[in-house]
Amino acid sequence: MSDPREAFPDARALLDRYGLRAKKWFGQNFLVSERAFRAIVDATVSNDDDWIVEIGAGLGTLTSRLLERVCEGKVIAIERDPDMVGVLRGELGHLDNIDIHEGDALRYDLAMVARWRGDRISLCGNLPYHVAAPIIFRALAQRQHLSRIVVMVQREMADRIVARPGGKDYGAMSVMIQAVAEVSTVVRVSAGSFVPPPKVESAVVRIVPTADGSPRYDIGDERHFGAVVHAGFAQRRKTLRNALRAAFTDAAVDAALVATGIDGGRRAETLAVEEHAALARAIPPESQHAPVPHDRGN
């Protein structure tokens, strides 16, 4: 396959060729930065026989670069806009190492692809901002089938994903993702790197689950862990003790704080991930007196 940076048109040329425009309701902003393309591909591809699921393949500008790097592997390009699917098929459908799937990424079965390959796969994409969190958490629910997740998201979300304890960006999202995967920022991407330029800045993050998909810390029951973490961050101005008491019985919270040696006067954003895990193990699930809303934006 020839070098896609020479052979493959950029987004502006493709939009003109097919008589298309970006659709706001699909959250379409097309990447045109070669620096960002290179960073995403480098972070996603480890071998030329990798299998990659690309979410929101759009016009195929990133797809073409992935295909060039996984010449012995495969790219499964997922796109729900029929017009974009037409571009993908017209520009890349003749290649042997691509499978174009028209559909919703939130419904796509990553485990099926891993079984098809017989090994773990990678996931990447420029995620529409309004569905980025659900896509990431759905992927993490299938993380035993994934070697890495490399996604472009709104910069504020990226900052929350990689945040460390003590900062304003550190919240439930930080803890929930870092409990099961290593995280890092790959590159920051300005609004001018897209056509049309969005109103927000973006960043690419790399999320790497453990080799067997197990959590990085002993979090016990994963659903209960999520309930405890979200309870802690649900009322950020309150002390940890009072925030947890809003969701669990006073006695259970007090006993857990004593058992873990964690000061109940602290706030949730000061706790390391392993401290949140220790609290979740110490608070009995049956002590929860009301379900905690899971606002993944905390």
186 pLDDT exceeds 70?
yes
Instruction: Decide if 106 contacts 135 (C-beta within 8 A).
Output: yes
Statement: residue 291 has pLDDT above 80: no
Answer yes or no: is pLDDT of 127 > 70.
Answer: yes
Give the DSSP letter string of 141-180: HTGGGEEEEEEEEEHHHHHHHH--TTSTT-SHHHHHHHTT
**Across residues 113-119, what is the average pLDDT?**
96
Our CA angle for 13, 189, 64, nearest 5°, is 40
The confidence score (pLDDT) of residue 294 equals: 54
At residue 26, the pLDDT reads 67
Lowest mean pLDDT: which of 3-7, 180-184, 284-288? 3-7
| Intervals of CATH 1.10.8.100 along the chain | 222-287
Mean pLDDT of the chain: 93
pLDDT at 230 over 90: yes
Query: By C-alpha distance, which of 205, 172, 177, 184 is closest to 271?
Result: 172
- Report pLDDT digits (tens) over 248-267: 999 999 999 999 999 999 99
Amino acid 41: pLDDT: 98
Model confidence, pTM: 0.92
Q: What residue ranges of the chain are covered by domains with CATH 3.40.50.150?
A: 4-209
**Residue keyed to tokens 């990553």:** 110
Q: What token pair was written down for 18?
A: 């097919």
Q: Which pLDDT band holds residue 152 (cuts at 50, 70, 90)?
A: very high
- As a residue count, the chain comes to 298
Q: In this predicted structure, what is the pLDDT of residue 4?
A: 43
Fold topology of 222-287? Helicase, Ruva Protein; domain 3 (1.10.8)
Given a cut of 80, whether residue 298 has pLDDT beyond it is: no
Confidence tier at 8 by pLDDT (50, 70, 90)? confident
What CATH number is given for 4-209 in this structure?
Answer: 3.40.50.150
The continuous run of DSSP H or E covering 265 comes out as: none
Q: What percent of the chain has pLDDT over 90?
A: 86
